Amino acid sequence: MATTLVSSAGGMLAMLNESHLSLKLHALSNLNNLVDTFWPEISTSVPLIESLYEDEEFDQHQRQLAALLVSKVFYYLGELNDSLSYALGAGPLFNVSEDSDYVHTLLAKAIDEYASLKTKAAESSESVTVDPRLEAIVERMLDKCIVDGKYQQAMGTAIECRRLDKLEEAITRSDNIQGTLSYCIYVSHSFVNLREYRQEVLRLLVKVYQKLPSPDYLSICQCLMFLDEPEGVASILEKLLRSENKDDALLAFQIAFDLVENEHQAFLLNVRDRLAPPKSQSSTSTQAKPNDIGSEQNATASGPDDIQMTEGDSASVVSVPEDPSETLYAERLTKIKGILSGETSIQLTLQFLYSHNKSDLLILKTIKQSVEMRNSVCHSATIYANAIMHAGTTVDTFLRENLDWLSRATNWAKFSATAGLGVIHRGHLQQGRSLMAPYLPQGGTGGGGSPYSEGGALYALGLIHANHGEGIKQFLRDSLRSTSVEVIQHGACLGLGLASLGTADEDIYEEIKNVLYTDSAVAGEAAGISMGLLMVGTGSDKANEMLTYAHETQHEKIIRGLALGIALTVYGREEEADTLIEQMTRDQDPILRYGGMYALALAYRGTANNKAIRQLLHFAVSDVSDDVRRTAVLALGFVLYSDPEQTPRIVSLLSESYNPHVRYGAALAVGISCAGTGLSEAISLLEPLTSDVVDFVRQGALIAMAMVMVQISEASDSRVGTFRRQLEKIILDKHEDTMSKMGAILASGILDAGGRNVTIRLLSKTKHDKITAVVGLAVFSQFWYWYPLIYFISLAFSPTAFIGLNYDLKSPKFEFLSHAKPSLFEYPKPTTVPTTTSAVKLPTAVLSTSAKAKARAKKAEEQKANAEISSESASVASGTGKGKSSSEKDGDAMQVDSPVDKKSEPEPSFEILTNPARVVPAQEKFIKFMQDSRYVPVKLAPSGFVLLKDLRPSEPEQSSASAMAVDEEPQPPQPFEYTS
Amino acid sequence: MDPKLTEVSQLFERFKAAFLRKDYDTCSNLLSQLKVKLTEFRSLPPLFEDTPNAVRELTIARDIYEHAVVLSVKIEDQDAFERDFFQLKPYYTDACNKLPPSPQEYPILGLNLLRLLVQNRIAEFHTELELLSSAALENPCIKHAVELEQSFMEGAYNRVLSARQTVPHDTYVYFMDLLAKTVRDEIAGCSEKAYDYLSMNDAKQMLMFTSDKELSEYIKEDHPEWEIKNSCVFFQKAKESAPCKEIPSLQLINQTLSYARELERIV
């Protein structure tokens, strides 16, 4: 007999109407089994079943059964809210572990509901009563995930539902606690949108980390940094430094380097000041200060070696204690303070950029020749391009070779020409002052220098000391106080802002405010920006003061400066900034609305926050002022930089707008958020814009394209080559208009920025946003109004290097593999001299020396280097540096050059890199460390500063050739004077 | 024999005895006991499990429900009729391959059709009809209901009323009486639409009332919106319920303006 199936639920539904209870129960339980098939029939009887659920006469089980049945019917009807509320009524009958669509959907719904309730409760601070039954279901679900080993799922849900207790449970019960913790950090950064809540999560993580038997100090310190808790970091560092084990000290150094990478100056200073001085030496408590004092004295005495001397002093002071362990600690403390102050990394970076500089002077020469004499815009653009190309390399050959040509810069062009030196010498902390000395205002003597070059020099000092201005602040303040020339004030304000970025120093603020209140347009603009730089990310109520003044003043320039300044103060404050943003975006004055766009961009930088994006898109299409619309689109780039793939998609429509300002904004948004990624979609979006009909859109697109393509080799994307040729064509074309020509010149600069060894990076490797870089790009995007601000882009440059360091913070000889074809990541080939022009002796000609000669020179260099190690100490006189630096330069040039020589052979599939080496971001995933190497990295990082553990400490160490010069800075170039 | 089954059959015998005695109260009591007992048989719908006694259990269950349906007619309880009929239905539709057909099947189906007609649930009537085989349609019990429906739809109300004399089964009489009322409702509905007013006499004749009093009582109960004035029945009030719809001009203007504004802003 064939199995018989029911064809209708009608019979059972009819039975529900029976008066006898057991009949109803019978019907309910049967219907519950049939509901998956017969829900359409049952749905007409839902009111009846609902009444059964509400019937007090029924016993609990029957009512729950009725609730479950109704819930299922509602689920099939798509009424999830009703379905959920009845499922809650079903109590234990709702089986969380059942594997059916119904249960899955409802669970998701329940969790959503619960999460939104909890979020609402947390936000509105008033108590929202959460249905205990709902809570029970979510808890059951979480417990089940944990028991089943689905920790990530449990963690995600727990975070979403704000159940930190469950999150902790999930982490501690997981089998791979380290892994889950790092996953959790990742999740909290990428998906937790609320800043405060994220901090709570991180605080919990730190707690969990600390409970572990072997804490992962690297991660803890990262968390603490996000939480802004310098005490915690300081105590961990101290513990590690006091350890007998050398490895712990290495770890401490590594932590310090990682923290420095995030560029949070105020935090780092805090940590540094909290590190306890060695016990037996009470006088060293002032140790953090000597630098400042030294530089203050410097202001009057001036001399290149002053600071080094004071460093030596403090070192000798520290080394007094008798107790050996204290001595050890003191020694390590000096090192770590050096690292935390950023000096060590800046010095190493500078060294790397100098030694690996591969900029192509021929490009500049071509630009220079093709640019019309009288066209001052292109003339200064060339100077900008030169500065950017050589940013941080200290190579100013081009300027020195073309003094005549340079002297054509007058007035503000002179200002930026001088400031350009600051970009070139960026990070040259020790000798910055002496380098700029010829151009600086000469106090009292009434020096003949033009105010423009003096102002520019002050700005340059700021650029050199950007974010590390401990030593120079005082001098800049003095200069600001002692002048009433607005051009100098302009430069001093910018310089001071840069040097004391984010330090929120009240005194400096007051001084700059005084400049602002003179109501001079030029100085006021810089003052506005400078106040913002000073207060970056503090969210202080100074913003309101600035806003008030912006309403009072008549000068557009000042309002604009202030608007940007206000935006800077709310950097990274997310929701906290909402009131201010609201206030600005509703202002009558378009300039303040424009500032509001920046405020949105900076407050929500890199968060990809939906609300911010929505607001920006709204302004991008609805504001009446073109400036505001342009900025709104541009701001999208900042909000989205943590997720670069998204930006081209979001702005693609805007890039086809009829409004050129919007198109320009779209181009720069892509440029900012996709900087250095070489993202194919980004390039495709920008390509048509580079030949737009409107000149300034072309300019923006060219610059943006250069930002995207920085350090991308032609081998990995052929469009890079096309773009380079396009730039050349635009520059050489006589009929091209000035705007796009300027764009092309700047683009060539950015494309080869920092001697082709830097990229634009807004996120550190730990996904923390680099405050300096973001601020730098934000101010850079102001160049629309004020060209000298172009130099701010240099703040966003970060060297693409692997720099391995040993315990003495020197680079030992260390090799590692890049498991990819060398051509993918090599430097672009130097341009060749066009046949028509007469052969000029070019600096790049050095590269064409035969391989043999190079090998010989290299060998000699290495030997020399080896000999040097033993005597390498503080006593090494800086005098030897002069003779050495030239030979070194050759050596380095050749070392880098060697892969190029191998061209004729079939290309190998890997490449051996020598510490320190250039590792471009795309290359990072191919980096492998060799198994049998003498050194083992403390942290498996493919780039940046990595501390190396020496497995054979007894053997003599070999320093890598270029690292030798760490102690010996290249000599400052001879000052040159403008002839006019 | 299964003790449960024995118990049910014994109970059922007592039920039948009481049924014959026309002791309907006892019947109802016994019936509800029986129904509860039946829930314990797993071979019955909707489970249809293959137990050894399946056929016998199904047969007796069907028998019980058939009696329940007839009983509900006897005690003139339409809800109970509907309830029992729906519970009986799976035995006809789903269990037909397990059981020999029941002699009561067609009369009961016919009764159900009649009930739907009485309750003026024409849609369900036709749904039920579609489910029947062509052979079933030939059955006099079914045919009777179908013909009634046709006359009813044509408006040949006299034929409907005269059909009471030709019922195929005595249980049908109850529903035929009810049908007269349904017909009256239909006529009332039509007159309302067709006339502005009717004289009392015409109305009385049309609605098949013998006295004015019956008519006025009917109006009071079922059509309170009708008015009796000057010995006429006015239907006017019922017709007033069709107000002219206002044009939402303000809303339209707003919408148009906002479109215009959006157009200006297009990227």
Residue of B nearest to A655 (CA): B267
Residues of B with a Cβ under 8 Å from any A Cβ are: 32, 35-36, 39, 45-48, 50, 79, 82-90, 93-95, 97-98, 265-267
**B89–A11 C-beta distance less than 8 A:** yes
The pLDDT tens digits of the residues spanning A471-493 come to 888 888 888 888 888 899 999 99
How many residues does this entry show for chain B? 267
**Residue range B173-186: mean pLDDT, rounded:** 83
* A971-980 mean pLDDT: 57
Q: What residues of chain A lie within 8 A of the CB of B82, using their CB? A: 14
CB < 8 Å to B85, chain A:
14
**Predicted local confidence at residue A859, as pLDDT:** 55
| φ/ψ of residue B83, rounded to 5 | -60, -50
Residue among A510, A424, A436, A499 at smallest CA distance from A462 = A499
**Spatial separation of the C-alpha atoms in residues B20 and B151, rounded to whole Å:** 35
* Nearest alpha carbon to residue A773 among A853, A639, A672: A672
C-beta atoms of A1 and B97 within 8 A: yes
Tokens of A489: 């004030």
How close A157 gets to chain B, by Cα (Å)? 39
Residues facing residue A928 across a β-bridge: A817
Most confident of A785-799, A807-821, B19-33, B64-78: A785-799
Contact B267 A653 (CB under 8 A): yes
Query: Please, what is the Cα angle at A444 between A438 and A448, to 5 degrees?
Result: 45
Give pLDDT tens digits for A97-127: 778 888 888 888 888 888 888 878 777 766 6
The DSSP symbol for B229 reads E
Instruction: Report which of residues A286 and B198 the model is more confident about.
Output: B198
Alpha helices in A652-793 (DSSP H): 660-673, 680-689, 695-709, 719-732, 738-751, 753-756, 771-780
SS3 labels along A521-564: HHHHHHHHHHHHHHCCCCCCCHHHHHHHHHHHCCCHHHHHHHHH
Q: A13 and A41 in contact (C-beta within 8 Å)?
A: yes
For residue B22, the one-letter residue type is K
CA-wise closest residue to A798 among A353, A171, A432:
A353
Q: What's residue A311's pLDDT?
A: 41
Most confident segment among A73-82, A88-97, A425-434, B160-169: A73-82
Mean pLDDT of A146-167: 82
| A662: chain B residues, CB-CB within 8 Å | 267
Question: What are the sequence ranges of the domains in chain A?
Answer: 95-215, 220-276+330-340, 802-827+906-966
Contact at CB, A14 and B86, closer than 8 angstroms: yes
Residue A316's nearest CA partner among A287, A344, A339 is: A287
Interchain CB distance below 8 Å, B98 and A3: no
**CA atoms of A494 and A481, how far apart (whole Å):** 14
- Cis peptide leading into A916, omega within 30 of 0? yes
Work out the pLDDT band at A878, boundaries 50, 70, 90. very low
Closest CB to B87 among A1, A2, A15: A15
A514-532 mean pLDDT = 91
pLDDT reading at A55 higher than 70: yes
Indicate the pLDDT class of residue A152, thresholds 50, 70 and 90: confident
Output Rg (C-alpha) for chain B, integer angstroms. 27
pLDDT of residue A126: 65
Q: In a 3-state reduction of DSSP, which class is residue B113?
A: helix
CA angle A922, A927, A928 (to 5 degrees): 165
Q: Name the residue among A2, A11, A23 with its Cβ closest to that of B45.
A: A11
Task: Flag the least confident range among A185-189, A320-324, A719-723, A757-761.
Answer: A320-324
Q: What pLDDT does residue A906 have?
A: 67
What pLDDT shows up at residue A690? Answer: 92
Q: Comparing A741-750, A789-798, A866-875, B238-247, which segment has the lowest mean pLDDT?
A: A866-875
- Longest pairwise C-alpha distance within chain A: 117
- Per-residue pLDDT of A234-243, as tens digits, reads 888 888 888 8
Burial label, A949 (beta-carbon count in 10 A; 0-12, 13-18, 19+): middle
- Rounded average pLDDT over A891-916: 59
- Show contacts of A438-442: CB within 8 Å, 24+ apart: A438/A975, A438/A976, A438/A977, A440/A479, A441/A479, A441/A482, A441/A483, A441/A488
Which chain B residues are within 8 Å of A657, Cβ to Cβ? 267
Could A6 and B267 be called an inter-chain contact, meaning their C-beta atoms sit closer than 8 Å?
no
Q: Regarding predicted confidence, which is higher, B27 or A592?
A: A592
| Residues near A679 by beta carbon (within 8 Å), at least 6 away in sequence | A644, A645, A648, A708
Q: What is the mean pLDDT of chain A?
A: 79
Chain A positions touching B28 (Cβ under 8 A) are: none
The C-alpha atoms of residue A889 and residue A971 are separated, in whole angstroms, by 12
Q: State yes or no: pLDDT of A843 exceeds 50.
A: no
pLDDT band at B257, cuts 50/70/90?
Answer: very high
Q: Of A538, A546, A661, A537, which is closest to residue A606 (Cα–Cα)?
A: A537
Nearest Cα residue in chain B from A9: B46
**If interface means Cβ-Cβ distance under 8 Å, which residues of chain A face chain B?**
1-15, 17-20, 22-23, 26, 30, 33-34, 620-622, 653-654, 657-659, 662
Return the pLDDT at B240.
59
Q: Where are the beta strands (DSSP E) in chain B?
A: 197-199, 227-229, 232-234
Tokens of A373: 């004499």
A231 - beta bridge partners? none
Residue in chain B closest to A27 (alpha carbons) equals B39
- To probe the interface with B, which of A1, A4, A38 has the most B CB atoms within 10 Å? A4
Note the pLDDT of residue A117.
83
Interface test with A, best of B48, B127, B267 (most A CBs within 10 A): B267
User: What length does chain A have?
Assistant: 980
**Does the distance separating the beta carbons of A654 and B32 come in below 8 Å?**
no
Supply the pLDDT for residue B244. Answer: 63
How far, in Å, CA of B105 to CA of B89, rounded? 9
Q: Which two tokens stand for residue A700?
A: 């923006």
Q: Name chain B contacts of A2, Cβ cutoff 8 Å.
A: 97
**pLDDT digit string, tens, across residues A161-190:** 888 888 888 887 777 777 777 788 777 777
Domains of chain B in sequence order: 1-102 (1.25.40.990), 197-240 (no CATH)
Mean pLDDT of A664-669: 94
> Alpha carbon of A904 to those of A822, A900, A907, A909: distances in Å?
13, 9, 8, 14
Q: Which of B35, B89, B98 has its CB closest to that of A20?
A: B35
Tens of pLDDT, residue by residue over A591-610, are 999 999 999 999 998 888 88
Give SS3 for A727: helix
Task: Tell me the two tokens of residue A507.
Answer: 């005194």
Q: Given pLDDT bands bounded at 50, 70 and 90, which one contains residue A894?
A: very low
Query: Which residues, including other chains, have CB under 8 Å from residue A905's CB and lie 6 or more apart?
Result: none
CA atoms within 13 A on the CB side of A843: 20
| CA distance linking residue A249 with residue A355, whole number of Å | 28
- The alpha carbon of residue B90 is apart from the nearest alpha carbon of chain A, in Å, by 7
CA distance A337 to B47: 80
Q: What is the DSSP letter of A812?
A: B
Q: Radius of gyration over alpha carbons of chain A, in Å?
A: 32
Which tens digit of pLDDT belongs to each residue from A342-376? Answer: 888 888 888 888 888 888 888 888 888 888 777 88
Question: Does A756 score more than 60 pLDDT?
Answer: yes
Question: Given this model, what pLDDT does residue B251 score?
Answer: 92
The share of chain A scoring above pLDDT 70, in percent, equals 83
Q: Is the dihedral of CA A727, A733, A734, A739 positive or negative?
A: negative
Give dist(CA A670, CA A933) in Å, integer.
42
What's the pLDDT score for residue A884?
41
Cβ contact, residue pair A14, B82, below 8 Å:
yes
Question: What pLDDT, on a 0 to 100 scale, did the predictor assign at position A225?
Answer: 80
CA B79/CA B82 separation, integer angstroms: 5
pLDDT digits (tens, 9 = 90+) for A405-429: 888 888 888 898 889 989 999 888 8
Instruction: Provide the number of CB pairs (under 8 Å) joining chain A to chain B.
Output: 76
> Across residues A522-549, what is the average pLDDT?
90
Residue A904 pLDDT: 52
Reported ipTM: the value is 0.72
Alpha helices in B75-138 (DSSP H): 78-93, 105-118, 122-131, 134-138
Whether residue A14 and residue B90 make contact (CB cut-off 8 A), yes or no, is no
Under 8 Å between Cβ of A962 and A888: yes
